[in-house]
Amino acid sequence: LGLMEVLPDDCVQVGKKELMYAGTVGLIIYLGGVIFINRKSTTSAKMVMAEVAKTMATDNVKVWVYPEGTRNCTGDLLPFKKGAFHLAVQAQVPVIPVVYSSFTTFYNPKKNLFTSGTIKVEVLPPIETKGLTSDDVSDLTDRCFHIMRETLFRLSGRPS
C-alpha cells in the first residue's frame, strides 16, 4: 500500500504471473494495470518486456520492477534478476532505485502477520543507461544491487 504513495503518474508495475491468482490481491493488481510476466517461459517474458520497452518510448510510461523477483523475509536482498536492467538499457531510460527499509522487526512469516511498525522509503538518484548496451547489463545490475543493499542496511539500522 505504501507503494501507492510514491508511484509517479503514468507508471505501471511488472509482476510475476502467479500473483494474478492471489485472490483479492490478484484481482486488485490486475485491475490496477500490472503487467504480468511468465517467469517460467523466458521467451514469453522477453516478448512482453520488448513490448513494454516500446510502450515506454511511445507513451512515456514509467515501469516499476521488483528486481529480486520474489518476497524476501531475511532482511537482506536476494540476487537481482536482470530483466529490469535489460529493459532499462533497451529503452535507454534511467534506473531510479527505490529502497524500503526491512519489515522483519514487525512481520512474522510463520503466521503471515504484520504488527505495528515503521517503514522508511528512500528514492535514490537516477542511474543513467544512455549509451549502454546489453553487454553492460551485468555491471548495471551489480551496481544497482550494491547501492540498494547499502541503502537498505542504512535505512534498517543494520551495519553493512
Q: What is the mean pLDDT of the chain?
A: 85
How far are the Cα atoms of 1, 100, 105, 107 from residue 116, in angstroms, in the given order?
15, 16, 9, 9
Instruction: Yes or no: say if 12 and 61 are a contact pair by the CB < 8 Å rule.
Output: yes
Report the alpha-carbon angle 8-124-145, nearest 5.
110
Q: Which candidate, 66, 88, 78, 67, places its Cα nearest to that of 137?
A: 88
8 versus 19: the higher-pLDDT residue is: 19
Q: 91 with 58, same domain?
A: no
CA distance 106 to 56: 37
Query: What is the reported pLDDT for 70?
Result: 67
Asked whether residue 78 is domain-assigned, the answer is no
- Residue 88's pLDDT band (cuts 50, 70, 90): very high
* pLDDT over threshold 90, residue 44: no
Identify whether residues 30 and 93 lie together within a single domain. Answer: no
Number of neighbours of residue 11 by Cβ within 10 angstroms: 13
- Residue 39 CB-density burial (10 A; 0-12 exposed, 13-18 middle, 19+ buried): middle
Would 11 be classed as within a structural domain? yes
Please report whether residue 75 resides in a domain: no
pLDDT at 4: 60
- Could you report the per-residue pLDDT of 116-158, keeping only the tens digit for each? 888 888 999 999 999 999 999 999 999 999 999 999 999 998 8
> ∠ CA 99-32-115 to the nearest 5 degrees?
50
Q: What pLDDT is attached to residue 1?
A: 52
This prediction's pTM: 0.79
* pLDDT band per the 50, 70, 90 thresholds, residue 111: confident
Cell numbers describing residue 144: 544497482
Specify the number of domains making up the chain.
2
90 shares its domain with 57: no
The C-alpha cell at 43 is 521467451
Domain membership of residue 71 (yes or no) is: no
On whether residue 119 sits in a domain, the answer given is: yes
User: How many residues are listed for the chain in this entry?
Assistant: 160
Residue 74 resides in a domain: no
Q: Where does 76-120 have alpha helices with state H?
A: 83-91
Say whether both 131 and 100 belong to one domain: yes
Largest CA distance in the chain: 47
Residue range of the domain that includes 41: 1-64
